[in-house]
Amino acid sequence: MEHMTWGGAYAADFIPYFAFTLSVALVSGAIALALTIVRSDARNAMLLIGGVVVLVGVVLGLSLVYSYIAGIREAGEFPAWAMNTLIWTGWFAAFGVIVVLTVWVTRNVLGDDPAAIFTALFRYGLYATGIVFAIWLLVTLVYAGSAEADRIADVYEAGTVKAVQSYAGVSEDEAKAILGKMQAGESVELFDKRVALAAEYDRGIIANILVRFLPVWIGLALIFAVSIIFKRRLGLYGKLFNSPIGMVGLALVLFWILTAFSADMIAVFDPLTQVSGLKNKLPGTPVPDSEGLFYYLGGDNLARDVFSRVVHGSRQVLIIAPAATLFAFMVGITLGLPAGYFGGRFDTILSFLANLVLAFPVILLFYLLVTPEIRSTGIPIVLAAVLFLFPIIFFVLLFRTKFFTQPQKLMIYMVLTLVLGFWAYSGLAFNSDPLGVFRMDPNLLNIFVSVVFVNSPTVFRIVRGLTMDIKTRDYVAAAQTRGEGPWYIMLWEILPNARGPLIVDFCLRIGYTTILLGTLGFFGLGVSPESPDWGSTINDGRKLLSVYPHPALPPAISLMSLVLGLNLLADGLREQSLKD
């Protein structure tokens, strides 16, 4: 069986349109950026565009001459690659004419700000590229396998044993049995398998991967539809949909969250499954002796499916990073609020300890905390015993200050908090949960505690600074006048009004933690040696990067896209929180 191509059977028909629209977008964007940096007027635009057109013309002209001479020397005729170069020259010449006309219209009709025009060209070029991609995807999905189905239709139309033999390559007796099923209107398994396999090949790697992510697309569509409909009732989250940057960031983050939840449905294989003969195989390699299964992104150095490992790796990252960051915030909030509100010696001692931890380089501190030698000393368990108490303390204080005038409700909440809290505490910190509901692998505990320990001082300093600012506001003075207690004021007056910066920092800190986890995996200090987390996968693939780049690039791009999404989401939240 041959390898699957990236674009499938219909990609060649769309490549020229895709290349042209993308070229228009990229060149227009570059010119708009350059005009924004320098003075945006017609004269600078003409000079810049003229230089671009001349440079492109010279490069393509030299390429054409070289290709023509080389082709004449080797083949004695005008070669195909020289003709392709001539076609590309025509494309760029046409684009140059369009650009010059645009500048002329800008200068004589639309005013003296060419950067705005090229920004619009960049935007519409991206729209056109997206439309071309969508049309290609639609055509690919609709017509995939149609050629094979047409050949089978010809066999049905002929209705002879010879036609069945010619198509299926079977013996005469087998052909008669198949023909009997055809005449009886029954489904022929051989024909169905060939159509399904042909459809896989016709779709190509990109379209097949997009089809595998169907649960994620459905989830994204539902979440965005419901959120946009009810955005006026959703507070800061609803306002996020007024920010294009925030929406892009949210889409990227939700994509990986939904991927983590539906990893078992999306992945083709288990991340640890090895298939003989597929070591370092290229993307699109068919799996031997399988029913139309492929290694869409190739195999790694242990013959495991790279695509399945990337999908399952999202689950590893999104289990550790958000949970550890949430614990770090509970520690930082529980200590930062009283430090900023009361000040004095308590603030001085905590600030000194925080500065002491922050004095160490983060990567070095992480590296020291997760090494096996540190684990053998029992330090991670001691840190877990201390740090994991803070969520319990936080919720006890939260409910006590909220329901202190309602003893019955307070009793219920306190009992639930203490029972569930210490149940989880015993399992996570000491691995002594008798029911086995809460447990953490020692290596995972080591990494989790390290993330909490390293992030808590920074969160403490942020919360402390916000508290020192907010405690001088009038509504805090009003609460003090009413006779509210200090912890009520800190948790129900100061903390809600600090939510904007804290939410933004939470998103950013998950991104930083994701990068740190990837770095640990890269150094071989991840969750486990065979773990599909992205850092470990990148480390496994980098050893043969110059020969086989496909095992390392997909997890690297996945890590980049998640961190980019978190940063864009944080920017969108910051933008909307400032408008609050």
Q: In three state form, how does the secondary structure of 259-313 look?
A: HHHCHHHHCCCCCCCECCCCCCCCCCEECCCCCCCEECCCECCCCEEHHHHHHHH
At 86 the pLDDT is 63
Q: Is residue 264 part of a domain?
A: no
At 78 the pLDDT is 53
Contact 112, 41 (CB under 8 A): yes
Domain boundary among 106, 121, 143: 143
| pLDDT surpasses 60 at 300 | yes
Q: Is residue 229 part of a domain?
A: no
Residue 405: phi and psi, rounded to 5, are -90, 0
Q: Rounded distance, CA 54 to CA 380, Å?
A: 64
Q: Rounded distance, CA 394 to CA 390, Å?
A: 6
Q: Rounded distance, CA 569 to CA 560, Å?
A: 14
Q: Rounded distance, CA 493 to CA 444, Å?
A: 36
Q: Is residue 220 part of a domain?
A: no
CA nearest 313: which of 580, 534, 495, 58?
534
Residue 166, token pair as written in the block: 């010619």
Contact 48, 35 (CB under 8 A): yes
Contact 314, 271 (CB under 8 A): no
More confident residue, 321 or 59: 321
Q: What confidence tier does 110 reach under pLDDT thresholds 50, 70, 90? A: very low
Contact 8, 139 (CB under 8 A): no
Q: Rounded distance, CA 62 to CA 73, Å?
A: 16
Q: Rounded distance, CA 152 to CA 171, Å?
A: 17
CA nearest 444: which of 548, 365, 526, 543?
526
Q: Is residue 251 part of a domain?
A: no
Residue 432: phi and psi, rounded to 5, are -125, 30
At 96 the pLDDT is 67
Q: Is residue 172 part of a domain?
A: no
Q: What whole-number percentage of the chain has pLDDT above 70? A: 84
Outline where DSSP puts E strands in 143-289. Answer: 285-286
Domain boundary among 126, 143, 160: 143
Lowest mean pLDDT among 239-243, 274-278, 429-433: 429-433
| pLDDT surpasses 70 at 113 | no
Q: Is residue 223 part of a domain?
A: no
Domain that holds residue 503: 307-579
- Averaged pLDDT score across all residues of the chain: 81
| pLDDT surpasses 70 at 498 | yes
CA nearest 281: which of 550, 1, 571?
550
| pLDDT surpasses 50 at 311 | yes
Interhelix angle 306-342/442-470, rounded to 10 degrees, is: 40
User: Count of domains in the chain?
Assistant: 2
The conformational region for residue 288 under phi > 0 = left, psi -120 to 50 = alpha, else beta, is beta
At 337 the pLDDT is 93
Residues 6+ apart with CB under 8 A from 235: none
Other beta carbons within 10 angstroms of residue 571's beta carbon come to: 18
Summarize the confidence of residues 386-403 as an average pLDDT.
Answer: 91
Residue 38, token pair as written in the block: 């320098």
More confident residue, 54 or 508: 508
Q: Rounded distance, CA 107 to CA 253, Å?
A: 43
With 0-12 / 13-18 / 19 or more C-beta atoms within 10 angstroms meaning exposed / middle / buried, residue 47 is exposed
DSSP letters for 457-522: HHHHHHHHHHHHHHTTSHHHHHHHHHT--HHHHIIIIIHHHTHHHHHHHHHHHHHHHHHHHHHHHH
Summarize the confidence of residues 253-271 as an average pLDDT.
Answer: 91
The conformational region for residue 303 under phi > 0 = left, psi -120 to 50 = alpha, else beta, is left
Q: Is residue 181 part of a domain?
A: no
Q: What is the pLDDT of residues 359-380, one digit of tens each?
A: 887 777 777 777 777 777 778 8
3-state secondary structure of 121: helix
Domain boundary among 143, 168, 192: 143
Q: What share of the chain is helix, strand, coil (3-state, %, to 5)?
A: 75, 0, 20
| pLDDT surpasses 90 at 461 | yes
* pTM of the predicted protein model: 0.80
Q: Is residue 529 part of a domain?
A: yes
Lowest mean pLDDT among 85-89, 134-138, 337-341, 452-456: 85-89
Q: What confidence tier does 427 reach under pLDDT thresholds 50, 70, 90? A: confident
